[in-house]
Amino acid sequence: MSVLGRELERIHVLKPRDTESEWAPDMDEEDEATEGRKVTADENTSTAGELRAGITRIEKLISRNPLLEAYQFDQDEFLMIAEIFHKAVQHGDLDFNMKDICEMLPNQKGGPEGRLGIVVNLIDREILTAPCLRDHDFHYDPRSLYSTYLRLNGLLWNLILGKDPLRHAGRIFSKAKSGDAVDALLKMIDGFYLHYPELNDNSMAEAGVCFGRSVNTALDAVIGKLDEANCPAWRSFKAKYRLSRFWLKCLLLIHYHNRYRDTEPAPEAIASLLAKNCQERLKYIALLGRHNVLAQKGLLNPRIPGCSSYQMELSDTAINNLHAGTQVAGTQSGIADQLLDRSSYLSRISPAQTLDQLIVDSQTKSILVSVINRLKNPRQESFATWGLVGASLSNDTAIQHGCNILLHGVPGTGKTFIAGVLANELKRYLIQINAGSIRGMFYGQTEKQARELFQEMRALAKQISPVFLLNEGDQLIHQRMESAVRSVDHAENTIQSIFLEEMESFPGIIIVTTNLCAEMDIAMSRRFHYKLEIRIPDREARMALWQLHLPDSIPGAGFIPLEGLAKDFHFTGGQISLVVQNACHEAFMRGKGARLTLDDLYRYARLESGSSFEQRKQPLGFAC
């Protein structure tokens, strides 16, 4: 437990057990005596002194953290938070109703309206959160709070546990290169979202919840890091556009949502992130909607005429200026988007995986890091002086920049996850090949469509150099038939021949995944520069996977011992994910106050263990 958590537990023990205490200045001393308390006045004085000392220690701890200091807690709120924290740690209680919260706060007067005002204030200050509010602004009708449950704010909970997003952001920035400073800032924002689960719930913005206290504190800190780094692109951008601090924050939040979450936020969403109260939120909505400085300066794409909602997206000009040429040129990106829109064979996906989240054995991870470094820094000119002889008949240098990777292993070991990691680490689009759309109904159509696929892939490789992903590759590039009698057999052999021919000279990056390595054509072996088997995780890796799939945002997850699960079930990451989802669904259905338990996980782990379709087969064909 963190130092702050221990101090909260201490003051919970010292907190008076009824509302008639020294915290109520109008308490009648005679009434106290008639309550039949068995402690002496000296003991009361001693306990009160210890309580004050405990609160003083907490105040000192809070003063060291900008995010905690911005809450400006009073003493009654310390006692309420201590009560909630104790109930969560000792009993797993996370959810409370209005009556519960008001009973935890001493000195509450003013009747129902006063109590409603107190809870609204606690939500606006991000001390409490109401997860089930949906499309209903509680500022205009606070009665909606009676029909929902309340819990401690997710960011505050993580801060109490010692998980500080600003410290996490500082580590990210310290590892970044100077040329990637803006990219590092976006990763820092992503880390803040990771520590603040409520930010991922769009319905909260629609319900009028404001996050400005914490979001502004975090953005001020990360922008300060960027200013200190003296990044040329950032310095040039600020000098050119002369945006106020507010508009810089809007720009970065829009950029983050566009790039990391693949969404185009509405003015209401950004206003909720930056506003500290309801009035400020309405003001920001008007600024972003009708008087948007970013749009006036050409930093946002034009609003679509006739569209009732305004979805904000950074323009190519803004992106290129922010990243100083490290991004794909706007015209190239536009052409690539048009190609993808027209394509029947290719579609863009937006992975969120990072190398830090990848859980595989050390040898496999080392090879993947080597692959990433090779593709980031091909150093073709100096490497060519080594005089290596290539297998290809072509001397085209673009072909030498290409890389075909085969990832094979049993289902659920993270092959697709790795493709997302590679794309993100290389800062490239991830384009999925839709295998089912290649085969045609008529004779000769399949061959034509396979060649069209590679034509489109070559065009995209030239424009934006993405990473192409073919999942379950054995369905397209399996073993050829020695005697193709039927037309369908001939069509299948044609696909194999086209893939063999095209992958020989393809100038881009192709990742193929398969669970059936033995079914693939042996001639395809030489087409892959890397053939990596992604093995079933060992016990240590399984422990890390359970921890990854059981974040603290799941009620009760933080108190579940995972060692037994990692020992008893030799699961892949995919199986662990399924077990967690099924167990969470059952726990959630128990209603208010529901929390995940070890029994839930064991029940569905046994079910998964007893119903797995996996069969271990000895590999045939070429060695993978």
Q: What are 408's two structure tokens?
A: 């094979």
Phi-psi region of 237 (alpha: psi -120 to 50; beta: other; left: phi over 0): alpha
* Cα-to-chain-centroid distance, residue 212: 20
Fold type of domain 348-355+394-527? Rossmann fold (3.40.50)
> Helices in 230-324 by DSSP H: which ranges?
232-241, 245-260, 267-274, 278-290, 293-296, 316-323
Distances (CA, A) of 180 to 174, 240, 327, 329, 342: 11, 20, 11, 17, 33
What SS3 class is residue 29?
A: helix
**Residue whose entry in the numeric block shows the structure tokens 């027209």:** 342
pLDDT of residue 483: 56
Q: Answer whether 348-355+394-527 and 539-610 agree in fold.
A: no
pLDDT of residue 330: 42
Q: Where are the domains of the chain?
A: 3-159, 164-327, 348-355+394-527, 539-610
Residue of 492, 458, 488, 456 lying closest to 474 (CA atoms): 492
For 57-71, the pLDDT digits (tens) are 888 888 888 899 888
Instruction: Give strand pairing partners of 15.
Output: none
Cβ atoms within 10 Å of 356's Cβ, excluding its own: 8
pLDDT of residue 236: 86
Q: Cα torsion at 446, 451, 457, 460 (round to 10°)? A: -120
> Is the CB of residue 123 less than 8 Å from the CB of residue 130?
yes
Rounded distance between C-alpha atoms, residue 517 and residue 499, angstroms: 16
Rounded distance between C-alpha atoms, residue 94 and residue 346, angstroms: 45
> Is the CB of residue 104 less than 8 Å from the CB of residue 79?
yes
Rounded distance between C-alpha atoms, residue 363 and residue 366, angstroms: 5
pLDDT of residue 511: 92
> Is the CB of residue 434 less than 8 Å from the CB of residue 345?
yes
DSSP 22: T
pLDDT of residue 624: 45
Residue of 67, 73, 192 lying closest to 122 (CA atoms): 73
DSSP 311-380: ---B-HHHHHHHHTT-SPPHHHHHHHHHHHHH-SSEEEE-----GGG----HHHHHHHHHHHHHHH---H
pLDDT of residue 616: 46
Q: What are 123's two structure tokens?
A: 């939500």
* Number of H-type helices and E-type strands within the chain: 29, 8
Classify domain 539-610 by CATH number. Answer: 1.10.8.60
Which run of H or E residues covers position 202? helix 202-206
Q: What are 230's two structure tokens?
A: 């003296």
pLDDT of residue 76: 84
For 228-250, the pLDDT digits (tens) are 877 788 888 888 999 999 999 99
pLDDT of residue 79: 86
For 64-91, the pLDDT digits (tens) are 888 998 888 888 888 888 888 888 888 8
Q: What is the mean pLDDT of the chain?
A: 79
Q: What are 4's two structure tokens?
A: 């702050």
Residues whose CB falls within 8 Å of the CB of residue 589, separated by 6 or more in sequence, listed in order: none
Cβ atoms within 10 Å of 301's Cβ, excluding its own: 17
Does pTM surpass 0.75? no
Which run of H or E residues covers position 514? strand 509-514
pLDDT of residue 620: 37
Residue of 174, 227, 179 lying closest to 324 (CA atoms): 179
pLDDT of residue 24: 39
3-class secondary structure for 145-172?
HHHCCEEECHHHHHHHCCCCHHHHHHHH
Cβ atoms within 10 Å of 67's Cβ, excluding its own: 23
For 178-232, the pLDDT digits (tens) are 556 788 888 889 889 888 988 887 777 777 788 999 999 999 988 888 788 777 8
**Residue whose entry in the numeric block shows the structure tokens 């310290």:** 174
Q: How many residues does the chain have?
A: 624
Rounded distance between C-alpha atoms, residue 33 and residue 39, angstroms: 10
pLDDT of residue 328: 38
Segments in the chain below pLDDT 50: 18-27, 29-30, 32-39, 325-331, 381-382, 389, 391-394, 615-624
* Cα-to-chain-centroid distance, residue 225: 22
DSSP 254: H
